[in-house]
């Protein structure tokens, strides 16, 4: 009997402690409390490197703004949140998509995510910010520029659907995006203010600045698997119990960096006051600065022009080196004929009809050698672009083929020409000859023996798709179209987009500088044309050159 009384007293005491210290969940319905009893453990997948919102330390400790909110929720609901580690944010989204976790503590509502998650009411508002080392005024200045965003983030969705056409570079994490922007690998990056300034402060980066606050503010929510709508309602009710004081304390604990726009900086205001006071001095400084800038711009322009000429000359030297063997062959054979004729004449007493024929052959051979040598000299001579009206593009092609004729013979490559009568153009004969020689030599190197090269020229009216090649063209425009096609091995897909990059070459070391195609495209564009290269459907490489003309 005594033992029974002690047992009853112990049971009453335990119930008392449970009532005192356990969560009463009074703000929940009986059904919601029953649901929690059936789900005492809820798995979550945090962003492993998403401070100040959330992160996982090396020992697996979950920290950040969302961790503080979840601590409050866990205490209120008497549940346990079990952390499932992912490698990066893309991995977090993958876990949510496969229902490998029950909840994402920090996530923004997007159209794609709405298909796999249900969302709570927002408990944070995150302003979007454009960071850069350059003085852009907004997203509108980024047309054609490289912009870094974290793969799978809401900012990636935002910029990919933006009206300004930018080159989106997706990174695996925010630290990589910050590093790429600071080092100039990309022109700018888009993320939220708190996360980015956290990394900038931690790493000690000094050249990044806030360029523009975006109009878009992202509501941070908690995302719950679609088949658990009860948890969304429970979380919303629990978040509503977190008062403003608690929210402010959490925010202050984690967001310590307050970024002040440069135009609101008190130092700038003081400086502006000094500028007004020394207005005359500022005018003099601006004048001196403008003159110095003009001289610097002129200097840079001269350097750019010089570099451009050196680049073109380097490509010429590459082609000339490849043609050296052909020139030697072309000179050697005529000289052999001359030598034979001299020997024959030396043994003949009188000049007869046979001797006259030999002399004629000698004259032809000498003329042939002279033509080849002069053509090569004209081709390699360094000079600025010199446009001349009334030129025949077909003649440029013929003379270019003649320069590389020995290479065709050596590899037994057949040449098919389909050159129709074309209108006279205004062009630089020698520069375009350089383009065609380079294209022919590239085709020769790409083909085995007994290959086939096809060259054609025609008049053409551009379609709307073709007009997109260049701003110089428009649909319905009359152009001269030249096509060069070989039956070589073609270009690997991964290399097609790089063949026009300066110094990029697929040839063996020492066999090319990688400048030929880059210079060739530049020469064509200086003629207001375009040069396109692609693999042919039936193998080999197809090169298309378009040059505008007026009827």
In-domain check, residue 70? no
Q: Identify whether 244 is part of a domain.
A: no
Q: Report the CATH number that the domain containing residue 512 is assigned in CATH.
A: 3.30.565.10
Query: Structural domain tally of the chain?
Result: 1
Measured from the Cβ of residue 290, the count of other Cβ atoms closer than 10 Å reads 10
Burial 257-269, CB ≥16 within 10 A → b, else e: eeeeeeeeeeeee
* Domain annotation covers residue 482: yes
The verdict on residue 233 lying in a domain is: no
> How would DSSP label each residue in 81-145?
EEE---SSHHHHHHHHHTTSSSEEEEEE--TTGGGTEEE---SEEEEEEEEESS---SGGGGTT-
Does residue 49 sit within a domain? no
What phi and psi, each to the nearest 5 degrees, are found at residue 373? -65, -45
> pLDDT 10s per residue in the chain (551 long)?
555 555 455 454 444 444 443 456 788 889 988 898 999 999 999 988 877 888 888 888 898 888 999 999 889 888 999 999 988 888 888 898 888 999 999 888 888 888 889 999 998 887 788 888 887 777 788 888 888 888 877 777 777 777 778 888 888 888 888 889 888 888 898 888 777 877 887 777 878 878 777 777 778 899 999 999 999 899 998 888 888 888 888 888 887 544 444 554 445 546 667 777 778 888 888 888 888 888 888 888 777 776 676 566 555 555 554 555 455 556 655 656 676 665 666 556 666 666 666 766 776 666 666 555 554 444 455 556 788 888 899 999 999 999 888 888 888 889 999 999 989 888 998 888 889 998 898 888 888 888 899 999 999 888 877 776 667 788 888 889 999 999 888 887 777 777 777 655 666 544 555 567 777 888 888 888 888 888 888 888 999 999 988 76
| 500, part of any domain | yes
Q: Residue 425 falls within a domain, yes or no?
A: yes
Q: How far apart are CA 542 and CA 549, in angstroms?
A: 23
Domain membership of residue 404 as a residue range? 384-548
The three-state secondary structure class of 247 is helix
Radius of gyration of the chain, Cα coordinates, nearest whole angstrom: 37
């Amino acid at each position: 009997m005594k033992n029974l009384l002690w047992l009853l007293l112990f049971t009453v005491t335990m119930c008392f402690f449970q009532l005192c210290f356990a969560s009463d969940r009074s703000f929940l319905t009986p059904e919601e409390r029953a649901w929690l009893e059936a789900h005492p453990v809820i798995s979550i997948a945090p962003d492993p490197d998403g401070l100040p919102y959330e992160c996982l330390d090396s020992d697996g400790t979950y920290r950040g703004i969302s961790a503080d909110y979840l601590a409050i929720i866990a205490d209120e609901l008497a549940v346990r949140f079990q952390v499932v580690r992912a490698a990066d944010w893309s991995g977090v989204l993958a876990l949510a998509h496969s229902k490998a976790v029950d909840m994402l503590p920090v996530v923004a509502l997007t159209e794609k995510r709405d298909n796999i998650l249900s969302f709570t009411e927002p408990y944070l508002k995150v302003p979007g910010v454009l960071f850069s080392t350059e003085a852009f005024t907004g997203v509108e200045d980024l047309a054609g520029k490289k912009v870094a965003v974290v793969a799978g983030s809401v900012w990636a969705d935002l910029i990919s659907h933006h009206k300004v056409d930018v080159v989106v570079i997706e990174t695996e994490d925010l630290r990589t995006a910050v590093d790429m922007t600071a080092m100039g690998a990309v022109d700018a990056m888009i993320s939220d203010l708190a996360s980015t300034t956290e990394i900038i402060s931690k790493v000690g980066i000094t050249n990044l600045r806030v360029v523009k606050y975006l109009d878009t503010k992202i509501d941070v929510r908690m995302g719950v698997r679609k088949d658990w709508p009860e948890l969304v309602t429970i979380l919303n009710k629990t978040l509503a119990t977190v008062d403003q004081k608690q929210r402010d304390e959490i925010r202050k604990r984690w967001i310590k960096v307050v970024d002040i726009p440069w135009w609101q900086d008190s130092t700038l205001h003081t400086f502006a006051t000094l500028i007004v006071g020394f207005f005359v001095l500022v005018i003099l400084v601006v004048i001196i600065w403008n003159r110095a800038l003009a001289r610097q711009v002129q200097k840079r322009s001269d350097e750019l022009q010089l570099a451009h000429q050196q680049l073109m000359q380097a490509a010429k030297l590459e082609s000339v080196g490849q043609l050296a063997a052909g020139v030697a062959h072309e000179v050697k054979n005529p000289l052999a004929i001359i030598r034979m004729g001299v020997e024959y004449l030396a043994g003949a007493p009188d000049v007869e009809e046979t001797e006259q024929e030999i002399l004629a052959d000698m004259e032809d051979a000498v003329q042939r050698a002279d033509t080849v040598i002069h053509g090569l000299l004209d081709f390699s001579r360094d000079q600025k672009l010199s446009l001349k009206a009334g030129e025949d593009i077909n003649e440029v092609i013929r003379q270019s083929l003649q320069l590389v004729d020995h290479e065709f013979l050596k590899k037994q490559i057949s040449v098919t020409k389909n050159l129709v009568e074309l209108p006279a153009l205004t062009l630089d004969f020698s520069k375009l000859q350089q383009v065609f020689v380079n294209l022919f030599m590239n085709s020769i190197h790409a083909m085995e023996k007994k290959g086939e090269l096809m060259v054609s020229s025609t008049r053409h009216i551009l379609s709307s798709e073709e007009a997109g090649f260049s701003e110089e063209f428009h649909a319905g425009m009359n152009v001269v179209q030249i096509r060069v096609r070989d039956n070589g091995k073609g270009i690997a897909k991964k290399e097609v987009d790089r063949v026009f990059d300066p110094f990029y070459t697929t040839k063996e070391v020492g066999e090319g500088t990688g400048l030929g195609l880059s210079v060739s495209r530049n020469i064509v564009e200086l003629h207001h044309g375009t040069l396109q290269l692609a693999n042919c459907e039936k193998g080999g490489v197809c090169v298309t050159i378009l040059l505008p003309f007026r009827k």
